[in-house]
Amino acid sequence: MRAEATAVLEPLWRGVLAPERLTAEDGATCALPAGAASVREARHFTRDALECWQLLALHDAMELVASELVTNALRYAVPLGTPGTPVRLSLVRWTCRVMCAVQDPSAVPPIAKDPDYVAETGRGLHLVDCFSESWGWRPLSGAGKVVWALFHVPDGSGRFVHQAH
């Protein structure tokens, strides 16, 4: 699937991930500060977006993956105490998939380690790999990178389901 994911996601890299181009029907984005509370905020943001899209079947897996990707960005890509909002979480509905993408200011690629099931840390990307259809990363022009995970929409229709508020 990794080669297919690259082809499926290619249009997204041409600007669809820009926050100003995301609409409520096909995407959502939030900026997160460098702090532990941002991981909780990422989970809530993901749950709210999936509820809006009526994709309840993806809640647990996508919340876990969003929190792992944000945790990795905050732990390895953002210096402690960095001001502002150095991490951006985006959820994008594209064809029959939903992508969870975390942008951070570091150009250093994520490194998946062999999981140590006794250790308290070090299993994040292993969990991302287990719970998503595929994942990867892409350097950004200028500075930083995007680490993404792809999820198949359960009904496979690729249709947007709108919920009246």
Determine the pLDDT at residue 63: 97
Q: Give how far the C-alpha of residue 52 lies from the chain's centroid of Cα atoms, to the nearest Å.
A: 17
Percent of the chain with pLDDT over 90: 50
8-50 pLDDT tens trace: 565 555 554 555 556 667 789 999 999 889 999 999 999 999 9
The residue whose two tokens read 């082809």 is 7
Break the chain into its structural domains and give their ranges: 2-152
148 vs 135: CA distance, rounded Å: 5
- Domain 2-152, CATH among 3.40.720.10, 3.40.50.800, 3.40.1180.10, 3.30.565.10: 3.30.565.10
Residue 107: name the closest of 81, 77, 83 by CA. 77
Average pLDDT over residues 45-63: 95
Determine the pLDDT at residue 143: 84
